[in-house]
Amino acid sequence: MSEFDKITGDAEQYAKDHPEEVREAQQDAEHIMEKKIGHNEQRDEARPDRGSQPDQNADDRAQDDGRQDRDQ
């Protein structure tokens, strides 16, 4: 049995033995992510260079980097 399989089995057994703790941990993680995502959305709204299309912004930055390399 690999170490990964052992750890996975231990985690599954812990989840079965402590369902309330697992549920609370999942809720805590969800709240943290909601808070973080909400924080990022507020920050993105305040910055015109960070919109709802991150892929387009990333492409724009990559093109800008290419122009800077040629200028040097």
At 5-64, the pLDDT tens digits run 999 999 999 999 999 999 999 999 999 999 988 866 665 566 555 555 555 555 555 555
Do 50 and 57 contact (CB within 8 A), yes or no? yes
Helix (H) or strand (E) holding 28: helix 19-46
Single pTM value for the model = 0.43
Q: What confidence score (pLDDT) does residue 67 get?
A: 52
- pLDDT given at position 8: 97
